Structure 1
Amino acid sequence: MTTRSREARLLYEQLRALEQQAREARSRAGCRYSRREVVQALAKPPYGRRIGDQRISDWVPTRDKEPKVPSDRSSDDVLALVRLWSSWAGESVNERHWRNLLEQAQPVRVLRTVPAGPGRPVREFTDPFTLAVHEAIDGDGASGLPLLPLYVERQHDRWLADVVNGLVARSAGQPGGVLAVLVGESSTGKTRACWEALNLLPPDWQLVLPLVPSPTEALIAALAEITPRTVLWLDEIHRFLSGDRGEQAAAHLREVLSDPRRGPLLVLGTTWPDLWADLVKPREDGDRGDPHAQARALLTGKHFRVPDTFEDTDVPELRRRAAADGRLKEALEQGEPGRITQYLAGGRALIHRYETATALQRALIESAMDVRRLGHDTPFPRILLEASIRHYLSAHQYDLVADGDIEHALAELSQPSRGIRGPLTPVTFRGPGGPRVLTDDVRLADYLDQHGRKERRTKAPPAGLWDALVDHAARDSLIALAGAARDRGHLRIALRLLAAGVEAGVPGAAVAGAQFLEEEERPEEALLWCLPLAEAGNIAAMEQVASLVEATRPDVAVAWHKKAAEAGGTYGWLLAGMLLCRAGAFADAELCFRRAAHAGVHGGHGELAHLLQKAGRTEEALVHLQQEAEASGGYAVAETAALMRQRGDNGLTVLAWLLFRAAEEGSKDWVGIPWAEHALIRHLAMDAVLRTRLWSLVDDEGQDSAARRYVSALLGYVEGLAKGDCREKDTDTPEALRQQGRLTEALVLYRKEADTGRRDAVAQVAALYEQLGRPSEALAWYRRAVAGGDPEVIPQLARLMTAAVGPDATFDWLKSCADRHGEKDYPDQRSAVAELLRIAGRTDEALTWLRRASWTGDPYAWRQYAELLEAAGRTEDAQDLRRYGWEPNGEISKPWSAAPPVVQRLGHARTAED
């Protein structure tokens, strides 16, 4: 035996016990068991390991001889053996346990070099609660239960296992990084699944948990030092990718994941569906900026949705596990059908405690719910709740609150029940080897947080809560809270929150204030917010100042763009060059574009090429246009091909270049117009000689058959295009049938398209039914179109529905539907319904409805309210609302000053000329 004989013996005994379980299970199933069958099974998928009978006999001898300790190189073979025996025995595999056994059984040897990067070995994380896995109910005091309930693998676990195993398997050959995010409601098992996935990692991997001083800053710092064979734990990933530096963190993480020198790297994340949607939502026309462009690029396609309930296929294994774990059994018997993880995490118990709480306790919980849904990060200062509760109690109830009552209520709410934390718990931390330290922050239970977002989404936060947030919110949440205030039309409050951020030294608060004022068409005041910061060297402020003075002082804007570029700003040289072009300073513009192109700025080579082309410097222009096309694709490809033809390049030369671009475009899953493909088709359509030469290649029997088919199809299409025959001539399309008066046939085809998910086809079906004189069926399909988010058909629906059920029922249904879709970012439905209400003479009803929609956070409702006021002849009120917003009680705000806090304190104004 080796110097670790005890650990080696433990490994042998557990392997022998597992083999015996597999043998007995095979026997019960009427199957034969032998080591030869084991060897054969290991050689097949999913194991693919060639392990001889002799090696198995060395590790688990069949006769009375000393077992050998598997070497490091054999660890993967042993794990494959464990997986096979476990599957035969009907057991799940705790790979972390087996990897630890294997490592501990090795002889004592020189310690491996400890990685220089951040984090600790994965095997040292033995407490799941340090990684925010939910504690489980205690099973009515049953003894001997493990920390966590027995685990049942589900579909998202299998997806996650494929991601992790794939990374580990290829780490020796082509190391890289992978990101996997589980998206699901609270207490559905996301973090537990990630914890179980750690079992799949070899024991020499590190785990990094970036939290201090803030999640975003800690992530940026960790990425600068990250080493290969690291797992980055980003539970609640929205905390890391939001806020002032969230985009910087997302961009840095994208860079690290794509760097083979930093891999293998595994990034595990979780988040809730609505927060995920905020991070990946595409930018739309009219949006204020694109706050999550980097996060969207990082996250899109990297997630798996965790269902709220157990699928029917999971229940048999769940029942088998429940026989050995009373907590699972209780969840099966007493919980809602399928909602096992929620019951285990105490979700129902938390709701019960909330619903049966005293008035003071309920006020504390509801103020915490509102603070969170308005955008405050978790945890939050306890003093914020204490300052808020008066607005959640009646005057009489608040008068009865005695000294010490709040302290007592918080203490009761923090008490655990059945092994899970209470609704509101104080935040503590413990340094390495140090005592537990109690902070002044509190945390709302996740389950109640999500419950509050759903149940209170239509309730307006008390007006006094906004004042409490200005005075007591955590500094890192002030910008997010300002955004929530602005979405609701509370412009004065939004600016107060940003001013509080400036005074607290929050990075980005002053620039955010300037952007806010610029977008609200108050550029002079916006300049006061960002000019001092720009003069101090802040790049974002420099860019903001340049943007503010572009229209009135383009020469000053050019100077600021150049300063920003010299300080490290991305687009400064490009924007300066564009302004100089407009002013006719082409020589200076050329110098700026060259610097932008040299820095690799998107569009730099393209703008330079256009300038050179206008100056008649075609050869130079073509060089830069090609570089733009090869780096960024897009329209530059078509422009380059046109310029190559204009220069007189051979058709085959242009074709060869375009083919490379088309191949690159296809390999990158190009979204939008396939410019390279269009340019390729156009080039062939313009060159009959080239098409003839390509047809000769198609006729060459020596060519690859797949290539011949592709070229043949392409040339056939292009020939038709060249002859003008590629117009739509199919008389069997639904629109063509409709134009021919064949309405019934068109209806059949449109219904098929609607059933496959084509949204505009639903409205076509409704219109055809109406045209055929079948109003009831038309009404049903118009309702389906509106329910699917289509606002264009609302007038038609209102007309038919009013005739069928009357105006009151019609507008009640329309408002309900528009409210639902307003929350899903279809505000045009609310606008359309509000306009119909106004036309029907129900303006006050429309205004009340839009005011309530604004309370839910619809960022368009208060602006639609202003439009409705203007249409009703209340022009002055509409103008005041647009400029000053309104108060939480619904009154239009009085004029307020937008001077920045520094100016207010010093009592003087600062202008751009300073």
Structure 2
Amino acid sequence: MGLWRRKASGGGVRNLFWGTVQTGGTLIQSKTIDTVHVYDRTTADLPDPAEWPPAKDWDGLLAGVHRARPGADTEALPEYVKRDADERLGEHLGEAAEEGGLVLVTGDSTAGKTRAAFEALRSVLPGHRVHAPSNPADLRAGATAILRTKSPCVVWLDDLERFLGPGGFDTELLSRLCGNGTPVVATMRLKQWASFTLPVTGGSDREDGEHAAKVLNSAERVNLDRLWSDQELLRAGDSADTRVLDSLEYRERYGLAEYLAAGPGLLEKWRAAWTPGGSPRGAALVAAAVDLARTGLVGPYPRSVLLRLHQRYLDDAGGRHLRPESEDEAFSWAASLHFGATSLLLPGETGDSQSWEPFDYLVDHAEEPVTPEAWDEALVHAKDPEQRFQVGVAAVEAKRMDVVERAWRPIVHLDPDIGMMLGSLFALMERDTEAEEMFRSASRGGSLESSTALGLLLARTGRENEAEVPLRQRAEAGSLRAMFVLAELLRQTGRENEAEEWHRRGALEGSAPPRRSTGCFSWIWGERPRPKRGWNWRWSRRTQAQSPHWGSC
């Protein structure tokens, strides 16, 4: 089962298919097929769930748990100290094992997310086979294999943001897994979660919308604080692991998991290296990798890319006056273990010296804006649609709207919801003609919320008569947002009675919790200057005050 998109191209139709290819079916096409692009693997490549490890035997390091400082017993992972959220996490996981569903653990880097989820998985679902894909294609192939097996399985998505976007983990795939009673356990750094749930990246009114925010909003989320509670510290004090006991000395400043993973020490090591006699070139290589990670481009990154990009950081810090070390020495320094736990740069999956990615603790603590060179490099290497989507999301958070446009324009034909978001971007930039074109195109592609966005745009540009058509269509179809926008439009044009009726209907139908809507208008257009003609700018705040559901926008 997959996602089919169709776009006119010249005299024919361009076709794109996302999902696992199934043979033996019939394809019905009403127009000439120019080309068919398949972006996934065939059924012959499906993995065998019997080869996946049961949760009780799974290795925590393979799950993504940070290696800790070495201990007296030489164990890579310290003794686990129960967190306050463990009981709730276990309950959600048990429910997901019965009915399917997504359980998401969020928190800062090194807050202990992956370890807590890993321990809950081993405790609650010890016999479930664990599917831990490395990319969206592996995820979808594994999901298809799960649906064909009788063995209980669980999907493990550490750093969930790597799997979101077109052709990745969406509501359709989650629904299929839920229907099979397959739980999904995921982790996500809090900054990444926030960026994907910004209003501009929310879902729409489409039942089959594939927005990342729709997936996140459907999750049972458990958040772990970086600093530990008094009860957690008391339990840590009863540990027999000397590493845990040693970490208590720094409890006022750091979280225990944070200290055990050597995050603060590595950050200090990086910041102290920008001096003559230090490792300025190595620090610049780390800075390049950190900025690439902040662009949303998933690592590891080729050595050649880091070498090309690092020179900007080195020059800004002083260049040759710092007497930088050789390239080999720089990589050796950046890859050296700190307290035997981890390093500033981590080797890629192959373990060689040709690809690297930064320790994520550094990414979360970076303060300077991402350089233009890093954004450019990310766009060059973001070749897959899901990668371009993620770069665009990161650019939204960074308020780099030029990068958002460059990231999403090449993939807008794959998903009308992306067209909806891009149209909202154009509205923010006051490129109203392009915004209108994008909303109309997205609406034709199936994005229902784009019709509401189109009506709002037309009203704000003094075309109230045109605006009423799409707004009324969406309001009559049950869209709460369209009801309130239409009501205000009617009030502005002197039809108070009908306006009051739509306000009343919206309030009545909104008594049940609404689905989160795309809702980027108050966030985006709230920054625009008051229009000089037609539409009364003050309506938006009045509508927001009268509708408790406008907050979900």
TM-score (norm 2): 0.62
AA matched with 1:225: A
When residues 150 and 294 of structure 1 are mapped into structure 2, their CA distance, relative to the original with a 3 A threshold, is closer
Pairs within 5 Å for 1:415-434: 415-429=336-350
Aligned length: 426
Change over 3 Å in CA distance of 1:176–1:361 after alignment to 2: same
Paired residues for 1:363-512 under 5 Å: 363-394=284-315, 397-399=318-320, 405-429=326-350, 438=352, 440-452=354-366, 456=367, 459-472=368-381, 477-482=387-392
Give the deviation of 1:206 after TM superposition: 1.0
Partner Cα distance (1:514, 1:276) in 2: 18
1:240, distance to aligned residue in structure 2 (A): 1.8
Q: Does 1:251 align with 2:168?
A: no
What are the superposed Cα offsets for residues 360-399 of structure 1, whole Å, 9 maximum, x if unpaired? 2222222222222233223333333222222213379434
For 1:292 and 1:319, the matched residues in 2 are separated by 45
Residue in structure 2 matched with residue 237 of structure 1 by the alignment: 160
Report Cα offsets for 1:584-616 as digits up to 9, x if no partner. xxxxxxxxxxxxxxxxxxx9xx97998xxxxxx
Relative to structure 1, the CA distance from residue 386 to residue 507 in structure 2 (aligned partners, 3 Å threshold; closer, same or farther) is farther
Q: Which residue of 2 aligns with 1:225?
A: 145
Aligned partners of 1:310 and 1:339 also within 8 Å: yes
Q: Which amino acid aligns with 1:278?
A: S
CA contact (8 A) 1:220 1:252 kept: no
SS at match of 1:428: coil
Distance 2:304 2:101 in 1: 41
Structure 1 residue ranges without an equivalent (≥5): 1-114, 169-174, 430-436, 528-543, 551-560, 579-602, 611-627, 637-670, 679-824, 829-858, 872-914
Which amino acid in structure 1 is aligned with residue 196 of structure 2?
L
**1:264-283 equivalent positions in 2, closer than 5 A:** 265-281=182-198
Aligned counterparts of 2:129 and 2:396: Cα–Cα separation in 1: 43
CA drift at 1:422: 0.6
| 2:267 match | 351
Matched, 1:127 2:49: no
Give the superposition deviation at 1:192: 0.6
Instruction: Give the distance between the partners of 2:121 and 2:381, measured in 1 at CA.
Output: 39
The aligned amino acid for 2:140 is I
Q: Structure 2: how far apart are the matches of 1:186 and 1:513? A: 32
Whether contact under 8 Å (1:165, 1:200) holds in the other structure is no
Q: Tell me the distance in 2 between the aligned counterparts of 1:126 and 1:146.
A: 15
Q: Distance in 1 between matches of 2:96 and 2:392?
A: 41
The higher relative CO (CA closer than 8 Å, separation ≥ 6) is in 2
Instruction: Give the C-alpha shift of residue 235 in structure 1.
Output: 1.2
Query: 3-state DSSP class of the match of 1:673?
Result: helix
| Match of residue 675, structure 1, among 509, 525, 539 | 509
* Residues 1:332 and 2:264 aligned together: no
* TM-superposed deviation, 1:522: 6.5
1:675 positional shift: 2.8
The residue type paired with residue 183 of structure 1 is T
**Structure 1 residue 492 displacement after superposition:** 5.7
Change (3 A) 1:355 1:283: closer
**Match for 2:191: what amino acid?**
D
Q: Say if 1:256 and 1:389 are closer, same or farther in 2 by CA, change over 3 A.
A: same
How far apart are residue 827 of structure 1 and its match?
9.5
Give the C-alpha shift of residue 571 in structure 1.
6.7
> Do the aligned partners of residues 298 and 513 (structure 1) sit closer, same or farther apart at CA in structure 2, a change above 3 Å counting?
closer
CA distance in 1, matches of 2:79, 2:387: 38
Is the CA contact 1:254–1:298 (under 8 Å) kept in the aligned structure 2? no
RMSD: 5.0
- The answer for unaligned runs of 5 or more in structure 2 is 1-46, 274-278, 456-470, 484-504, 513-519, 533-553
8 Å contact from structure 1 (residues 635, 675) kept in 2? no
**Alignment of 1:195 onto 2:118:** yes
Shift in Å, 1:193: 1.0
Q: Following TM superposition, by how much is the alpha carbon of 1:183 offset from its aligned partner in structure 2, in angstroms? A: 1.3
Give a deviation string over 1:857-894, Cα, whole Å, max 9, x none.
xx789x76xx69x99xxxxxxxxxxxxxxxxxxxxxxx
Distance in 1 (alpha carbons) for counterparts of 2:59 and 2:393:
38
Q: Which has the higher strand share?
A: 2
Q: Flag the 1:218–1:295 CA change in 2: closer, same or farther, 3 A.
A: farther
Separation of aligned partners in 1, 2:521 and 2:419: 26
Instruction: Name the aligned partner's letter for residue 296 of structure 1.
Output: K
- In structure 1, the residue corresponding to 2:108 is in which secondary structure? coil
CA offsets per residue over residues 628-683 of structure 1, 9 Å max, x none? Answer: 89xx99999xxxxxxxxxxxxxxxxxxxxxxxxxxxxxxxxxx97343989xxxxx
* Greater Cα shift, 357-366 or 470-479: 470-479
- Structure 1: which amino acid aligns with 2:115? R
Q: CA deviation at 1:345?
A: 0.7
Equivalent position to 1:547, from 422, 440, 443: 440
Aligned to 2:5: none
Instruction: Confirm whether residue 161 of structure 1 aligns to residue 90 of structure 2.
Output: yes
Q: Relative to structure 1, is the Cα distance of residues 407 and 672 closer, same or farther in structure 2, using a 3 angstrom cutoff?
A: farther
Query: Residues 309 and 467 of structure 1: is their aligned pair in 2 closer, same or farther, counting only changes over 3 Å?
Result: closer
Letter in structure 1 aligned against 2:85: H
Three-state SS of the structure 2 residue aligned to 1:162 is helix
CA distance in 1, matches of 2:52, 2:173: 20
The residue identity in structure 1 corresponding to 2:258 is Q
Answer whether contact 1:135 1:420 (CA < 8 A) is retained. Answer: yes
Summarize the Cα distance change of 1:468–1:402 in structure 2 as closer, same or farther, 3 Å threshold: farther
Distance 1:508 1:478, change over 3 A: same
| Contact 2:170–2:211 (8 Å) recurs in 1 | no
The change in CA–CA distance for 1:444 and 1:512 in structure 2 (over 3 A counts) is farther
Note the 1:483-882 alignment, pairs <5 A. 515=422, 547=440, 561=444, 673-675=507-509
Q: Whose helix fraction is larger, Structure 1's or Structure 2's?
A: 1
Q: How far apart are residue 478 of structure 1 and its match?
A: 3.8
Write the distance in 1 (CA, Å) between the matches of 2:96 and 2:398: 45
Say whether 1:306 aligns with 2:224: yes
Structure 1 position 123, deviation (Å): 5.0
Query: Of the candidates 94, 117, 136, which is equivalent to residue 68 of structure 2?
Result: 136
Paired position in structure 2 for 1:32: none
Counterpart CA distance in 2 for 1:180 and 1:224 is 20
Offset of 1:547 from its aligned partner? 2.4
Alpha-carbon distance in 1 for matches of 2:199, 2:372:
32
* CA-CA distance at 1:158 after TM superposition: 1.4
- The alignment partner of 1:361 has SS state of helix
After superposition, the Cα gap between the structure-2 partners of 1:382 and 1:506, relative to the gap in structure 1 and judged at 3 Å, is: farther
Q: Which amino acid aligns with 1:320?
A: D
Compared with structure 1, are the counterparts of its residues 547 and 384 closer, same or farther at alpha carbon in structure 2 (3 Å cutoff)?
same
Instruction: Letter of the 1:344 partner, please give it.
Output: L
Match of 1:150 in 2: 79
> What letter matches 1:375 in structure 2?
G
Larger radius of gyration: 1
